[in-house]
């Protein structure tokens, strides 16, 4: 990520169906993209930003040095890093443009926002609802990055449409869709998920 060239990145990481985003761009419908901490997820965002205006939503690190380093690395090929607290303001400012905004769907919500739990990998899990909130605000299509490891240092990703018209979706429909798709990926090849991520630090009220 620090030094790889565009050509080398595109040789090692291939999108199997780029026509999906081309279709949304042609129709002027912005896209909310969801990824997990799965396979080489950082590469996917970098490769996708080469030819597409991409907003990457991130949670700032407490260390300003490392935070600046990661922003520099993630935006090398044109991606625009947006701090999580600035997401709403940024989306409103660009709501009349075609944009792709990528979120990590398996982020743990902050304590004040842990008010929605769903079953994920056989246990109640607090889910960040900002993805659904933003998607409905701009009425975007919602897609998921399905990433696969081909061999050491080589990957593919497939764009999986989850919801076409966010404003017409039921409450929690978008949230449940991306959580369940990530679960499918993990069960398929569990070794590629970041299991060290503190995904279950919150429990529902009354749970032990």
DSSP β-bridge partners for residue 54: 100
Instruction: Tell me if 188 sits within 8 A of 180, measured CB to CB.
Output: no
pTM for this model (two decimals): 0.90
pLDDT in tens, the chain (208 residues): 899 999 999 999 999 999 999 999 999 999 999 999 999 999 999 999 998 889 999 888 899 999 999 999 999 999 999 998 898 889 888 888 899 999 999 988 877 667 789 999 999 999 989 899 999 999 999 999 999 999 999 999 999 999 999 999 999 999 999 999 999 999 999 999 999 888 888 888 755 5
- Both tokens assigned to 4: 């790889």
CA 59 vs CA 17, 55, 95, 104, 181: distances in Å: 29, 13, 22, 10, 22
């Amino acid at each position: 990520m620090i030094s790889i060239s565009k050509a080398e990145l595109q040789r090692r990481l291939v999108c199997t169906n780029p026509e999906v985003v081309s279709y949304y761009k042609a129709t002027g419908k912005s896209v909310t993209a969801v990824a997990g901490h799965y396979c080489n997820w950082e590469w996917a965002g970098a490769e996708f930003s080469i030819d597409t205006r991409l907003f990457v939503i991130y949670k700032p690190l407490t260390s300003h040095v490392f935070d600046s380093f990661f922003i520099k690395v993630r935006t090398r090929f044109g991606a625009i890093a947006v701090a999580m607290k600035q997401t709403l303001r940024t989306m409103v400012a660009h709501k009349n443009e075609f944009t792709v905004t990528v979120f990590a769907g398996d982020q743990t919500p902050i304590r004040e926002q842990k008010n929605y739990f769903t079953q994920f990998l056989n246990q109640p899990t607090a889910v960040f609802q900002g993805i659904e909130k933003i998607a409905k605000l701009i009425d975007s299509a919602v897609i998921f990055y399905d990433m696969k490891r081909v061999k050491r240092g080589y990957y593919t990703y497939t764009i999986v449409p989850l919801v076409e018209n966010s404003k017409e979706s039921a409450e929690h429909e978008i949230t449940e869709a991306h959580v369940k798709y990530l679960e499918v990926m993990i069960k398929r090849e569990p070794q590629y998920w970041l299991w060290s991520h503190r995904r279950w630090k919150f429990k529902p009220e009354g749970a032990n």
